Amino acid sequence: MVTVEPPPPGRTEGPGEAVVAAAAAMELGLALARVDYVQVGVTSQKTMRLLPASGRRATQKVVIGDQDGVITCFGIKKGEAVPVFKTLPGQRITRLELGGALNTPQEKIFVAAGSEVRGFTKRGKQFLSFETNLTENIKAMHISGADLFLCASYIYNHYCDCKDQHYYLSGDKINDILCLPVEKLNCITPILACQDRVLRVLQGSDLLYEVEVPGPPSVLALNKGNGGDSGEEVLFGTSDGKLGLIQFSHSSPVHKWEIRNDKKRGGILCIDSFDIVGDGVKELLIGRDDGILEVYNFDSTNDPVLRYDHALSESITSIQGGCVGKDGYDEILASTYSGWVTGLTTEPVHREGGSGEELKISQEMQNKISSLRSELEHLQIKVLQEREKYQQSSRSSTAVSAVPAFSVNDKFTLNKDDASYSLILEVQTAIDNVLIQSDVPIDLLDVDKNSAVVSFSGCDSEPNSNFLLATYRCQANTTRLELKIRSIEGQYGILQAYVTPRIQPKTCQVRQYQIKPLSLHQRTHSIDHDRPMNTLTLKGQFSFAEIHSWVVFCLPEVPEKTPAGECTTFYFQNTFLDTQLESTYRKGEGFFKSDNISTISILKDVLSKEATKRKINLSISYDINEISVNHTLKLIHPKLEYQLLLAKKVQLIDALKELQVHEGNMDFLIPEYRCILEEADHLLEEYKKQPAHLERLYGMITDLFIDKFKFKGTNVKSKVPLLLEILDSYDQNALIAFFDAAT
Amino acid sequence: MQSNQDSDISLLNINQGVSCLTSGVLNPQLGYDCLLVGTQTNLLAYDVHNNSDLFYREISDGANAAVLGMLGDISSPLAIIGGNCALQGFDHEGNDLFWTVTGDNVRSLALCDFDGDGKNELLVGSEDFDIRVFKEDEIVAEMSETETITALSPMYGSRFGYALSNGTVGVYDKTARYWRIKSKNHAMSIHAFDLNSDGVCELITGWSNGKVDARSDRTGEVIFKDNFASSIAGVVEGDYRMDGNTQLICCSIDGEVRGYLPGSQEMKVNLMDSTAEQDLIRELSQKKQNLLLELRNYEENSKQIELSTQVNEADGQRGVIPANTQLQTALSVNLGADSQSAHVELCISTSNDTIIRAVLIFAEGIFEGESHVVHPNLQNLSGHIRVPLTPPKDVPVDLHIKAFVGYRSSTQFHVFELTRQLPRFSMYALSSPDSVPHPLSFVNFTISERVQRVVMWLNQSFLLPEDAEFQSAPFQVCFTFLRDAGQLCIKMKPCGEISVSTDDIDLAGDIIQSMASFLAIEDLQVEADFPTYFEELRKVLIKVDEHHTVHQKLTADMADHSNLIRSMLVRAEDARLMGDMKNMKKRYVELYNLNRDLINGYKIRCTNHTELLNNLKAVNQAIQRAGRLRVGKPKTQVITACRDAIRNNNLNMLFRIMRVGTASC
């Protein structure tokens, strides 16, 4: 019983607006309903396609290949999946493509499994089994008429009518392959998407030219499905979530547009073009590895605009637009990592939600549910019997207990924006818990979207060399876990994740990830040669392969395979400080140049340790450029100043807000403070995004200070407290003077 | 009270930090709600309609939580506040009708008909992780949780929801926990509301990440959720729009308010999503997939068995181990060495040549987080792992152990899962009775139980090297505390007289409570003496008196000063108006000095007050401890009698009560 004067209705407006009953969000007029069709085994990237509609029927059949090696082809009748054919299990299917004679419906099914390519008719009859001469498993495949393009890790092979035509060895891993449409261009132009952030355009067995892209490309697709009007337009998606369009004219490429991944969404796994809106223009359909499905359309200047997104709970491995569920209603079909085939259909939901109206569970649904239930009952009985048998075997002294490996989809990548690593673990069934162990000091950061309960355990660095032990206890139905890790350059070792899924008999799998000595460095295509550089020179009796393996050990994103030729050069950029590193090496000698003296110092320590381990006599010499230290300090200066200012501003926000509330307005404040209040949300967000940024900068300046004098042979560790004092009341000139003076 | 005609908001300024707030009908004659405002020193009952105080009382123990309603047989509604170890209830005239003490600082209160007798019991959540149920001033139940209880909310009947500071929320029915869930976020506010109109309230939780969810009281299953942009500040219900419909109202710290109407009867099928069937299908399919996977696991396993019956290293890498591998665990007391302090040791070993890669122990309340991990490096891998445990409190703990078993080079391991219980008094090592001096303090009582039952309790509650087998009294067992090397001695005489000797009054209380619940003793009177503790308490009581005197003196000083300030200010302003700048300056300098004195005085008052609070807390705790040495009726009697003794300032009486349990001879 409340007798306080009721607030008049007008009161509820303004910032504290009362919203009664949450309404379902409608995304810019595009309303799609989710339908889950079937679940097959775990799927790889690009393994689901829609067969072209044939005959009288307008609905299309779906064909999907999974990691159990099974190809499933089905259609939808009255909401139920009706199988067309299903093959027997075999080697894991890595790609599934459609093909056929040029200018006819592309309805022959080709799958790549192991080193073999198999072909099936749309009715499931096998007409081709082509055992290639590749020694590795096929990673990517493209089919155009009688031409077959295959890629293993580093190798590209072109076959025509199953006969070897061309061959190319790429400098880094190939993620995807595409060929510009032969019908339009009358020549074969294969394009390789390579891990070293390059698209390589081939002609025959030779490299025509390379195109740099902003991230490691993970998928390629022809624009509008046919390469656009010119037939030369190719869409690419990167594993750090960027998207772009490039026109490959014969002589040179033209970058049309690029979308940065500002929302920090997952990497792109699949792209398709389809007119889902029905306005006569094809939209862009994107599937990401964090389960986000996006639809872009194009504005008047032909730039893409995000129009719709939908979150599935796991990686989207394939995506295609078409008509599957019901005649007359287009939909977006997606397959996910654990094998779900899900449709987002334009068919309106035949239920009128809202109060009073009874929910109608359609007959189809009812049938589907009851058949599933009975199927489950049978399975349950069978499982119980088997479980009993398994238990019994534990009494025998000769029996063994072997549980097959479950599949773990993992990704460990460096984020350029905040110089931290993200580790993504995805399992086909729900995860029970994950144990994270590291033998180097690293920080584990909280990720907002995780619901798992994290608990840090006490560590014993001696004698068990544990620097981090943490458990993630996952909530029910969590199949995907994302972790963020901050490493320190110079401290290297191994991070291990023990993943235990919720499945009987309980097993866990361990995955290892290298934290490299120069863990914050990233490959780049070019560097600024005008900077003052320090040089480290190695000479000794080592082979090209040996020094390459050392570089692989020290730096991320270097291909494991020794590069072709006698000599190679890689460029790197420090994602945190923007300093650079150039490494050039050949048999017997190596040169490492960096404007950051700490980078050189770390390399020197690690390389000499590695060489000693292999008992190789190494002569190390270095050429230190004093100016480089001040140069690095100048590089750090704007970052440090920005962070200090940000911290100061954030500190003021609360006080200013209180003033604002008390005074009712903020006209009396000086513009600077008013500005802080206006940007408060943005500032707080920025501050939250970069925790411990300042501490990291301080740490790097300290390293720089120690390293500068280490090369001179003096130990200045005793002066570090003094340095920290100077940093506390930071002034650029004072800092530089301190660096110069302390000799 | 400030009131502004233009604004819809009226402000009531308390001039002190508000620590709790509630509203309700306190005076049945008035027939409308009043507002209760608690601060660290006072409680104000305020009549909003007449803009007047109902009463304003000084609360020496502070008010951390408040609840308003009927309690037990007390005829008028009470405003009950919980402070530092104390509970107090006032009627509308400010009469103190209810008073008792509890184990630690109160953090949450709720009224609920716990035992179904039609009268409300008081639920008290405190910082010592306990939820206590008071039937008026008698404790009828105690539930141990794993963290500070930050919120309690009655659901219906004997069912109530609770929230902990570590992100746990759950529902109890009487003393049985129905369900609980733990989140990495914190529950800011909980409330019971029937959102799906099924006649039963759901537990609504507002989380620190801005999430609001409604969970079924029975299963904890989420039936509705929504998200705010910032942390939730509070969840309440009310007819905010004055249209006759009660809404659930949630407010975020940014000031965003959302109201939710309960769903209609027909919609109760599912509020989450209109695609309920879709979700069901997804869930069933997932189950099917899991069963298929499990089946495949068994199939593959039997294939393996056909292939080879001998385990070799290569198989080990794939996670093949002998089927008869077993995991053995043992708990024991380790007296420690130079490098390691004394602890309880959990020993885990495999039955063959397999190794344990890592051990995860999930347990509540004994580790910093919820888990402890032992991960030896490659050189130290073996089939045995010793895990040192040091439970900080004497509570029985379930250890959920997960051990990863395989071979050195394995990349896949078998996970052995088992649960062991750590006995309540595990941090005590058996010692020989003669080796150490006997503690001076003791508790004596007589029970009519067979010796075997007492021995059973001993075996269950302590970690003994081997089960004790005393067939008959008298017998004596002695223990050393692993935490601070104190002594504990339990003696039983043939007549059933048991004496527990220890200098730790808390431990004595724990032992009596544990024994009483094991032997199902309803009432137990004891004779106790804790000379050192009582001496400390006497000092504390003297200090309380001193603090009170200082407090009064300081208050008087302050009143003097403020009078002086008033006159000085008038004089200074006069001088200013007269243009006598010299005098004005002089006056203001004087004023400034006086102000500084006042601030200093205030600081002294603050320190004095904090000390006073701490000492009062110690007194309340002492009463609670004296109570815990008894069971049932004697327990309540002791607490009431102690309070009377303190009220009458009769210290000798107080100690007498603590010793023998009654005031009379």
Task: Judge whether A217 and A199 are in contact, CB under 8 Å.
Answer: yes
B583: left (phi over 0), alpha (psi -120 to 50) or beta: alpha
The pair of structure tokens assigned to B461 is 């509650």
Instruction: State the Cα torsion A85-A90-A92-A97 to the nearest 10°.
Output: -40
Predicted local confidence at residue B4, as pLDDT:
43
SS3 content of chain B, % helix, strand, coil (to 5): 30, 35, 35
pLDDT exceeds cutoff 70 at B313: no
Lowest mean pLDDT among A463-467, A618-622, A687-691, A692-696: A687-691
Interval A240-258 mean pLDDT = 90
pLDDT in tens, B438-468: 788 888 888 888 888 888 888 888 888 777 6
Q: What is the pLDDT of residue B3?
A: 42
**Range of the structural domain that residue B500 is part of:** 428-521
Q: For residue B140, is it within any domain?
A: yes
In three-state form (DSSP H/G/I as H, E/B as E, the rest C), the secondary structure along A59-103 is CCCEEEECCCCCEEEEEEECCEEEEEEECCCCCCEEEEEEECCCC
Question: What pLDDT is attached to residue B189?
Answer: 92
In a domain, B310, yes or no: no
pLDDT greater at residue B400 or residue B272: B400
Q: Is B211 exposed, middle or buried (0-12, 13-18, 19+ CB in 10 A)?
A: middle
- B350 with B397, same domain? yes
Q: pLDDT tens digits, residue range A294-308?
A: 999 888 888 899 988
| Mean pLDDT score, B620-641 | 85
In angstroms, the Cα distances linking A190 to A195, A221, B652 are 16, 12, 99
* Strand spans (E) along A114-213: 116-120, 126-131, 140-144, 147-151, 155-160, 163-169, 174-179, 190-194, 198-203, 206-212
- Option in B305, B319, B358 nearest A498 (CB): B358
Q: Does residue B10 lie within any of the structural domains? A: no
Query: Does residue B451 share a domain with residue B366?
Result: no
Q: Are residues B542 and B509 in the same domain?
A: no
Do B456 and B350 lie in one domain? The reply is: no
- CB count, 10 Å around CB of A681? 12
Mean pLDDT, chain B, rounded, equals: 84
Number of domains in chain B: 5
Q: What tens digit of pLDDT does each residue of B102-158 get?
A: 878 899 999 988 888 888 899 999 888 889 898 877 778 888 888 899 999 998 888
Mean pLDDT over residues B19-28, rounded?
Answer: 88
Q: What angle do CA A252, A256, A259 make, to 5 degrees?
A: 130
Closest residue of chain B to A386, computed from CA coordinates: B298
Quick one: pLDDT at residue A498?
A: 94
Question: Which of the pair, A69 or B435, is modelled with greater confidence?
Answer: A69
Of A272-281, B71-80, B339-348, the range with the lowest mean pLDDT is B339-348
Q: How many CB atoms lie within 10 A of CB B375?
A: 27
Of B264, B295, B357, Cβ closest to residue A355: B264
B322 reaches A (C-beta below 8 A): yes
Identify whether residues B228 and B151 lie together within a single domain.
yes
Averaged pLDDT for residues B522-530: 86
Q: What is the CATH number of the domain that holds B501?
A: 3.30.310
Contacts of A405 in chain B (CB under 8 A): 318-319, 412
Q: Are residues B545 and B631 part of one domain?
A: yes
A223 in helix, strand or coil?
Answer: helix
Q: For residue B258, give every residue at least 6 positions away whose Cβ sits within 8 Å of its Cβ, in sequence order, or none.
A: A18, A19, A20, A22, B226, B228, B249, B250
- What is this structure's pTM? 0.81
> Is B6 domain-assigned?
no
In a domain, B7, yes or no: no
**Pair B59, B83: CB distance under 8 Å:** yes
pLDDT tens column, B637-660: 888 888 888 878 888 888 888 888
Asked whether residue B180 falls in the same domain as residue B282, the answer is no
Residue B489 lies in a domain: yes
> B297 to chain A: which residues are within 8 Å by CB?
403-404, 503-505
Q: Which of B375, B387, B400 to mutate to test the interface with A (most CBs of A within 10 A)?
A: B375
Q: CA torsion angle for A275, A277, A278, A284 (degrees, to 10)? A: -20
Collect all residues of chain B within an 8 Å Cβ-Cβ radius of residue A383.
Answer: 291, 294-295, 298
What value, to the nearest 5°, has the Cα angle with vertex A300 and ends A294 and A305?
Answer: 20
Nearest residue in chain A measured CA to CA from B367: A457
* Most confident region among A315-324, A368-377, A472-481, B91-100 by mean pLDDT: A315-324
State pLDDT tens for residues A562-595. Answer: 888 889 999 999 988 889 999 999 998 899 999 9
- φ, ψ at B580 (rounded to 5°): -90, 80
Domain boundaries, chain A: 30-52+60-345, 408-515, 521-624, 627-742
Domain A30-52+60-345 classification at class level: mainly beta
Same domain flag for B222 and B285: no
Q: Which residues of A touch B287 (CB under 8 A)?
A: 376
Last residue of a domain, one of B370, B394, B418: B418
Nearest CA in chain B to A437: B375
- Residue type at position B296: R
Residue B378 pLDDT greater than 50, yes or no: yes
Confidence of residue B314 (pLDDT cuts 50, 70, 90): low
**B62/B200 same-domain check:** yes
B244 in contact with A at a CB cutoff of 8 Å?
A: no
Is pLDDT at A5 greater than 50 in this prediction?
no
Q: How many residues does chain B have?
A: 665
**Hunting for tokens 């107090």 — which residue is that?**
B88
Are B487 and B568 in a shared domain? no
| 3-state DSSP assignment of residue B160 | strand
pLDDT at A565: 84
CATH class of A521-624: alpha beta
Question: Per residue in A609-634, is it b (16+ CB within 10 Å) or e — as a string?
Answer: ebbeeeeeebeeebebeeebbebbbe
pLDDT of residue A430 exceeding 80, the answer is yes
Q: Residues A338, A428: contact at Cβ < 8 Å?
A: yes
* pLDDT at site B7: 55
Residues A142, A97: Cα–Cα separation, whole Å: 7
Contact between A36 and B278 using a beta-carbon 8 Å cutoff: yes
What mean pLDDT is reported for chain A? Answer: 84
Write the CB contacts of A675 (distance below 8 Å, at least 6 apart in sequence): none
Q: How far is residue A496's CA from residue A354's CA, in Å, rounded to a whole number?
A: 49
Give B238→chain A minimum CA distance, Å: 8
| CB B88, CB B101: distance < 8 Å | no
Kind plus residue range of the DSSP H or E element containing A473: strand A468-473
Query: Are the C-beta atoms of B132 and B103 separated by less than 8 Å?
Result: yes
B231, pLDDT greater than 50 = yes
Q: Longest Cα pair distance anywhere in chain A, in angstroms?
A: 92
Residues A100-125 have a mean pLDDT of: 90
Residue A692 confidence class, pLDDT cut points 50, 70, 90 = confident
Q: Which range in A588-592, A736-740, B91-95 is most confidently predicted, on average pLDDT?
A: A588-592
Instruction: Give B298-353 as a DSSP string.
Output: HHHHHHHHHH-SS--HHHHHTTEEETT--EEEEEEEE---SSS--EEEEEEEESSS
Instruction: Give the nearest partner residue to B371 out of A406, A455, A477, using CB atoms.
Output: A455
Q: How many Å apart are CA A370 and CA A372, to the nearest integer? A: 5
CA–CA gap between residue B289 and residue A501 (Å, rounded): 13
- Strands B527-529 and B149-156, how do they pair? unpaired
Is residue B392 located within the same domain as residue B432? no
A77–chain B nearest CA distance, Å: 17
Q: Which residues of B touch A444 (CB under 8 A)?
A: none
Read off the pLDDT of residues A168-178 as tens digits, 9 standing for 90 and up: 998 889 999 99
Residues 6+ apart with CB under 8 A from B9: none
Query: Does the pLDDT value for residue B234 go beyond 80?
Result: yes
Residue found by looking up tokens 């349990």 in the block: B661
Structure tokens at B139: 């404790």
Report the pLDDT value the prediction gives residue B290, as an integer from 0 to 100. 82
8 A C-beta contact, residue B322 and residue B312: no
> Beta-strand (E) ranges in B157-228?
159-164, 168-173, 176-182, 187-193, 202-207, 211-215, 222-227
Domain presence at residue B261: yes
Residues B213, B216, B218, B220, Cα dihedral to 10°: -30
Write phi, then psi, for B134 (nearest 5 degrees): -105, 125
Query: Taking CB atoms and an 8 Å cut-off, how many pairs form between chains A and B?
Result: 287
CATH number of the domain located at residue range(s) A408-515 in this protein: 2.60.40
Q: Is residue B9 part of a domain?
A: no
Q: Does the pLDDT value for residue B526 go beyond 70? A: yes
Q: Tell me the mean pLDDT in the region A727-737.
A: 82
Instruction: Write the ipTM.
Output: 0.80
Burial, A587: exposed, middle or buried (Cβ in 10 Å; 0-12, 13-18, 19+)? middle
Contact between residue A71 and residue A118 where contact means Cβ atoms under 8 Å apart? no
% chain B with pLDDT above 90? 9
What integer pLDDT is reported at residue B270 of this predicted model? 46
Which distant-in-sequence residues (6+ apart) come within 8 Å of B54 by Cβ? B26, B27, B34, B45, B46, B47, B92, B93, B94
Check if B301 contacts A (Cβ < 8 Å).
Answer: yes
One domain for residues B473 and B408: no
Reduced to 3 states (helix: H, G, I; strand: E, B; else coil), residue A140 is strand
Contact A213, A525 (CB under 8 A): no
Q: What is the predicted pLDDT for the residue at A526?
A: 83
